[in-house]
Amino acid sequence: MYFIKLLKINDTLFTMKDKNFKPANNIQDLQYFGEFGGVNPSISDSSTYTFLSAKTMFDTFEGNADGCYLYSRHTSPSNLYLGEALAAMEGTETANVSGTGMGAIVPALMQLCKAGDHIVSSRTIYGGTYAYLKNFAPGFNLATTFVDITKLDVVEAAITPNTKVIYCESVSNPLLEVADIPGLAALAKKHNLKLLVDNTFSPLSISPAQLGADVVMHSLTKFINGSSDTMGGVICGTQEFIDDLRNVNDGASMLMGSSMDSLRAASILKNMRTLHIRMKQHSANALYLAEKFEADGLKTVYPGLASHPSHQLFKSMMHPEYGYGGMLTIDVGSIDKANELMELMQERNLGYLAVSLGFYKTLFSAPGSSTSSEIPEEEQAEMGLTDGLIRFSIGLDNDIKRTYEIMNTCMKEVGVL
């Protein structure tokens, strides 16, 4: 064979809304071999690909030569393998990987929305996405109304004749609000809009496409890769939408240029195979700590707690074996207390004072002054993002009881308890 075709044995495992949809099984059942029978696919160490005939090269430009590769900004074998694994996880027809999470979110929005269009977005979203919608997109005459995504009537009231997209995160950063994906999908359908969901905080636990979302995105930088050693993103959707994004003439992913390197795609694919084990451990550890913190009287937000306003909703949407995710927040009253506590926890080796999430170690930061600092202070107050809020990405600690005991000591030392 002149080129190596993607080898997939089990590619029709699921149908939409399949009750037996098992995201981790779908990843596991994919089989990709190297050309010498390697149990891992070979890494495509090339930015460009040769053709035997000029005609095939022309057809490939036109998008009519399935299985042929052209140039790695368009796609590469390694990127296709990773994309197929992510599509299998989300239950979409296919997927396109990108160099970063923002490199997925921005092209997906720009493919669907043109000058004069309007987006209805959750107001509690990742700081970078918020800054893009609030500050950058208006320069291209693309307007956004930010709403409380947990109130479907408020979402619907914000829809205008120019609206093209409803945008949200399944579990929002940093407040851990939970989107009613079936409810939003019904609204999107009624008004002929696309529902775009950033599922970065809840991989495996929630499958937005199964619940009616049109497009699902991730920052692979977080849980999916899980090693805090690389960046990456993905857009999961229909074959038609992904083909549009990759179109050499007018595709936003192709033309905005945030492509992933093949070496990185290969390493993320390998890390992804342990995602189910990691998510179970992140979730079990986070639930343990959330219950302890709440019992100690700390203001704790975690979707797995019965006190979370959307606990039942999360439960109704989740694949239970992966739990409620690794993210939780506590409010310790002031930024000074938050900083003091985080510095002490780092000193005691409980985790790192760092942004990002999904690492084996616990990571903590105060979003008001870091990852959400793009959001003006008045708006932070309005959405309930307080000064003393600490966001935790709970690690894979083997002995979470010991972790809790040391954290408890730290909290007493700084006077939070």
Stretch that binds ligand PLP, among 122-130, 152-160, 239-247, 381-389 (CB under 6 A): 122-130
Stretch that binds ligand PLP, among 98-106, 185-193, 204-212, 260-268 (CB under 6 A): 98-106
Of 254 and 363, nearer to ligand PLP (C-beta) is 363
| Chain-centre distance for alpha carbon 415 | 35
Q: How far apart, in whole angstroms, are the C-alpha atoms of residue 258 and residue 244?
A: 15
| Chain-centre distance for alpha carbon 316 | 20
Residue 126 near ligand PLP by CB under 6 A: yes
Report, in Å, the least distance between residue 202 CB and ligand PLP. Answer: 10
Report, in Å, the least distance between residue 93 CB and ligand PLP. Answer: 23
Q: How far apart, in whole angstroms, are the C-alpha atoms of residue 26 and residue 10?
A: 8
Residue 84 near ligand PLP by CB under 6 A: no
Radius of gyration (C-alpha) of the chain in whole angstroms: 22
In this structure, what token pair is assigned to residue 256? 């905005």
Closest CA to 179 of 194, 188, 167: 167
Of 167 and 201, nearer to ligand PLP (C-beta) is 201
In this structure, what token pair is assigned to residue 86? 């992510």
Residue with tokens 């006077």: 415
Stretch that binds ligand PLP, among 95-103, 298-306, 327-335, 372-380 (CB under 6 A): 95-103
Residue 102 near ligand PLP by CB under 6 A: yes
* DSSP code string of 284-336: HHHHHHHHHHHHTT-EEE-TTSTTSTTHHHHHHHB-GGGTT-SEEEEE-SSHH
| Chain-centre distance for alpha carbon 144 | 21
Residue with tokens 């095939």: 56
Residue 233 near ligand PLP by CB under 6 A: yes
Residue 174 near ligand PLP by CB under 6 A: no
Q: Which of 77, 101, 203, 304 binds ligand PLP (CB under 6 A)?
A: 101
Residue with tokens 């079990």: 284
Give the residue at shortest CB distance from ligand PLP. 101
Report, in Å, the least distance between residue 233 CB and ligand PLP. Answer: 5
Q: Which of 205, 219, 253, 393 binds ligand PLP (CB under 6 A)?
A: 219
Contact 120, 147 (CB under 8 A): yes
Q: Which of 97, 231, 338, 416 binds ligand PLP (CB under 6 A)?
A: 231
Q: Which of 84, 117, 169, 180 binds ligand PLP (CB under 6 A)?
A: 169
Stretch that binds ligand PLP, among 79-87, 131-139, 206-214, 215-223 (CB under 6 A): 215-223
Which residues does residue 165 pair with via DSSP β-bridges, in sequence order? 119, 194
Residue 198 near ligand PLP by CB under 6 A: yes
Question: How many residues of this chain interact with ligand PLP, rule: CB under 6 A?
Answer: 16
Report, in Å, the least distance between residue 210 CB and ligand PLP. Answer: 19
Closest CA to 167 of 193, 202, 203, 200: 193
Q: Which of 72, 96, 100, 372 binds ligand PLP (CB under 6 A)?
A: 100
| Chain-centre distance for alpha carbon 169 | 8
Report, in Å, the least distance between residue 110 CB and ligand PLP. Answer: 15
Which residues does residue 96 pair with via DSSP β-bridges, in sequence order? 235
Residue 128 near ligand PLP by CB under 6 A: yes
| Chain-centre distance for alpha carbon 366 | 20
Contact 170, 206 (CB under 8 A): yes
Site for ligand PLP in 334-373 (CB under 6 A): none
Q: Burial code of 245-271, b = ≥16 C-beta within 10 A, e = fewer?
A: bbbeeebbbbbeebbbbbebbbbbbeb
60-79 footprint of ligand PLP as x/- string (CB under 6 A): --------------------
Q: How far apart, in whole angstroms, are the C-alpha atoms of residue 347 and residue 344?
A: 5
408 HSE (CA, 13 A, CB side): 15
Stretch that binds ligand PLP, among 1-9, 74-82, 134-142, 214-222 (CB under 6 A): 214-222
Report, in Å, the least distance between residue 129 CB and ligand PLP. Answer: 6
Of 301 and 414, nearer to ligand PLP (C-beta) is 301
Q: Which of 22, 73, 222, 276 binds ligand PLP (CB under 6 A)?
A: 222
Report, in Å, the least distance between residue 107 CB and ligand PLP. Answer: 12
Contact 393, 370 (CB under 8 A): no
Of 169 and 387, nearer to ligand PLP (C-beta) is 169
Which residues contact ligand PLP by CB under 6 A?
Answer: 100-102, 126, 128-129, 169, 173, 198, 200-201, 219, 221-222, 231, 233
